Structure 1
Amino acid sequence: MSAARTGGGPGSAVGYVHDALLYDDPGQLVDVVAPFLREGLAAGEAAVLATGARVAGVVRDALDDDPRLLVLDRAEAYRTRTPATITGFRRLADRQVAEGVSRVRVVGETDFGTTAQERYEWQRYEAVVNVALADRPLWGLCVFDTRRLPEPVLESARRTHPHLVTPRGRVRNGGYVDPAVFLRDLPAPPEPLEQGTPRLTARDVTDFIGLRHAVAAELATLPGPRDVVEDLLLAVDEMTSNAVRHGRPPVDLELWTDAGRVVCRITDRGPGPADPFAGYGPAHGEDLSRGGMGLWLARQLCDHVHVARTAEATSVRLVTRLR
């Protein structure tokens, strides 16, 4: 009997299901993943593999390279920025449903990157998708190799997946916490550049056109592709506009740079967004004409975005690599 059925798998395709497999040898991986995908294919569901090459090879061999299995390149599925990944999986579900599929089973292997900031973004992603994909008929089985991944990642896996799966079955995860609580409690890594003197400081900003010109002048001297610099400038525009529109004065900006990246912090004295999921999708869904896109655009345009709220102020930190 497959792990998906043992312990009471979800019986209908009403919304997102988010399971985790923590394994320490390829045999465990195959014993869970292969039956999970076979059952989906037998039921007429779509079966998708979005993992690294090593896992993909083992699973494809176990399924005799079944041509019905849709194999996605992990770098394409788990894109550099998490909102794009969420959008990609939403569109994947929509395409499959349009073709008559009732549910899409996805075996995924998130790439948590190599830096503390990258890990932080993808740990947050694992919590956010419980809400961001809730209305899509996706059954995600996320696989975590306990031999290769650091303990903070494994701990976040235990806290962000409602069910855990082993070769013995699928069980409710007692360690799962509400996604909003997880997002609130996960500490953001420090930004070393902020320990130095800012390259540009603007206090109590009122001339936002002048501020844009000042930021653009600083960014124009930096190495790196112009489209990356322009994306950051647009994100800075959006966040300063948000601070004016939704926050309280004074609005301050600080900008740090080195040879490889740029950090910009915008601060106002307002309470900031109360919604911990803000910016992982447009505020008004698919209707982009209604606005509410500032933080969402910033998350699309920058490598890392962190919102910090205190009793006195709200700050948004934007980080972009000059690659």
Structure 2
Amino acid sequence: MMSTGTSARPAAAEGHFDHRMAVFGSDEAFVAAALPFLAEGLAAPDEPPPVAIAAPGLLAALRDALGTDARNIGFIDHTDWYTGTAANAVAQGAGYLAANAGPGGRAHLLMEPDWAGRAGRSARESTEWIRYESLANLLFAPFATTVLCAYDNRTAGPAVVDAARRAHPGTGVYEQPPVLVRELDAVPLPPPPRAAVGLSGPEEVRAWAAGRGLPSAEAEVFTHAVVAAAAAHGPVVEILAWGDAPACVCELWLCRAVADPLAGFVPPGSAEPGPEQGLWFTRQVCAYVDVRDGAPGDRARIRVQYA
């Protein structure tokens, strides 16, 4: 089961989300980009101290450069912040702003995803993080939050950096989120394996998941995740299932498209995700949720993979 963080929303905002990007190839270049950004945050009215979220080595270099001024900055190891999926990162960010930001969501956050870890472990995972970067422009648009996304090309790599530029305004190659997300979703999913079995409802999903090796509590969570997706975007024509624990997969075939690119990414009002929150809950507790709408007239699909 993935880390869920918190899903509370920050207070209503006045201003706009300022989403920046810095690319660097050395600790010194990281510090050179970070120092003026943090100084800007320290000088901003009605804001809490700025926070740097990055790899431990980069944070150490930043502390050294700041000297005694480091006491005015928050430092968070990025493995403590990015503890699960890209959808979990949305919840983490929203929860942090709700608890700590100034009026209207005012805060300066320097953020480096863990490209040497989860975010960069596969092309599929990296795609999810680029999706998160792109959708952040919509999700946090009402809030006066300033974010500098730090990309270390020693770990992220040129393909990820090039894709990330398209998710950040002001880079010269920025794409509007619906355009970029639609492009990411145009990549076909592999077909279900021949061994996939058809299931008819929650009880069969629960029994199948337990039979494939998920402990009973996790089989229950996975069942709720599948049911939540179906309830939000059904009716469901067919459920196919395959895989072994922990990578159990259910694919829902739907009568209608999932037209909203933000489906399952908008934080609800309650602090803890529950099955009644539809695809938000599904994205919070499962490692992968793929949505494919297909051509007009085709059945849509939601593919849910537990881990």
TM-based fold match above 0.5 = yes
Q: Quick check: 1:148 aligned with 2:155?
A: yes
Distance 1:95 1:268 in 2: 38
Kindly indicate whether the alpha-carbon contact (under 8 Å) linking 2:238 and 2:253 is maintained by their aligned counterparts in 1.
Answer: yes
Post-superposition shift, 1:258? Answer: 2.6
Distance 2:246 2:92 in 1: 28
Match of 2:198 in 1: 201
Q: Quick check: 1:286 aligned with 2:286?
A: no
Post-superposition shift, 1:261? Answer: 0.7
TM-score using structure 2 length: 0.82
For residue 243 of structure 2, what is the amino acid of its counterpart?
T
Match of 1:25 in 2: 26
Distance 1:120 1:89 in 2: 19
Q: Quick check: 1:96 aligned with 2:103?
A: no
Task: Give the secondary structure class of the aligned counterpart of 2:222.
Answer: helix
Distance 2:228 2:163 in 1: 31
2:136 to 115, 129, 149: 129
Task: Give the secondary structure class of the aligned counterpart of 1:63.
Answer: helix
Q: Quick check: 1:74 aligned with 2:78?
A: yes
Distance 2:15 2:265 in 1: 22
Match of 1:56 in 2: 59
Seen in structure 2, the aligned counterparts of structure 1 residues 77 and 155 have a Cα distance that, compared at 3 Å, is same
Post-superposition shift, 1:190? Answer: 6.4
Post-superposition shift, 1:123? Answer: 1.2
Q: Deviations over 1:247-270 (max 9, x none)?
A: 4x6x10110113541111000222
Post-superposition shift, 1:17? Answer: 0.7
Q: Quick check: 1:138 aligned with 2:122?
A: no
1:265 to 248, 251, 264: 251
Match of 1:297 in 2: 281
Distance 2:37 2:254 in 1: 49
2:230 to 240, 259, 262: 240
Q: Quick check: 1:15 aligned with 2:25?
A: no
For residue 100 of structure 2, what is the amino acid of its counterpart?
Q
Match of 1:277 in 2: 262
Task: Give the secondary structure class of the aligned counterpart of 2:229.
Answer: helix
For residue 116 of structure 1, what is the amino acid of its counterpart?
A
Post-superposition shift, 1:83? Answer: 2.9
Kindly indicate whether the alpha-carbon contact (under 8 Å) linking 1:15 and 1:136 is maintained by their aligned counterparts in 2.
Answer: yes
TM-score using structure 1 length: 0.79
Q: Quick check: 1:85 aligned with 2:83?
A: no
Distance 2:42 2:182 in 1: 38
Task: Give the secondary structure class of the aligned counterpart of 1:49.
Answer: strand
Q: Deviations over 1:154-185 (max 9, x none)?
A: 1221100113xxxxxxxxx2100101111000
Larger Rg: 1
| Percent of aligned pairs with the same amino acid | 28
Kindly indicate whether the alpha-carbon contact (under 8 Å) linking 1:235 and 1:297 is maintained by their aligned counterparts in 2.
Answer: yes
Kindly indicate whether the alpha-carbon contact (under 8 Å) linking 1:304 and 1:320 is maintained by their aligned counterparts in 2.
Answer: yes
Task: Give the secondary structure class of the aligned counterpart of 2:269.
Answer: coil
Q: Give structure 2 stretches of 5+ with no counterpart.
A: 1-13
Q: Deviations over 1:130-174 (max 9, x none)?
A: 1111122211101111122233311221100113xxxxxxxxx21
Match of 2:304 in 1: 318
Task: Give the secondary structure class of the aligned counterpart of 1:237.
Answer: helix
1:306 to 290, 293, 296: 290
Match of 1:255 in 2: 241
Seen in structure 2, the aligned counterparts of structure 1 residues 80 and 131 have a Cα distance that, compared at 3 Å, is same
Kindly indicate whether the alpha-carbon contact (under 8 Å) linking 2:213 and 2:244 is maintained by their aligned counterparts in 1.
Answer: no
Match of 1:175 in 2: 173
Q: Deviations over 1:64-100 (max 9, x none)?
A: 26112112232332231223322222232233345x7
Aligned length: 282
Match of 1:119 in 2: 126
Distance 1:91 1:181 in 2: 27
Q: Deviations over 1:263-311 (max 9, x none)?
A: 11000222x22111111025xx5279xx982111111121111110022
Kindly indicate whether the alpha-carbon contact (under 8 Å) linking 2:53 and 2:81 is maintained by their aligned counterparts in 1.
Answer: yes
Match of 2:40 in 1: 39
Kindly indicate whether the alpha-carbon contact (under 8 Å) linking 2:228 and 2:276 is maintained by their aligned counterparts in 1.
Answer: no
For residue 63 of structure 1, what is the amino acid of its counterpart?
L
Distance 2:202 2:35 in 1: 54
Q: Deviations over 1:171-224 (max 9, x none)?
A: xx21001011110001476666x552234214xx5xxxxx22211111112334
> Which of 1 and 2 has higher RCO (CA within 8 Å, sep 6+)?
2
Distance 1:229 1:280 in 2: 23
For residue 183 of structure 2, what is the amino acid of its counterpart?
D
For residue 176 of structure 1, what is the amino acid of its counterpart?
Y
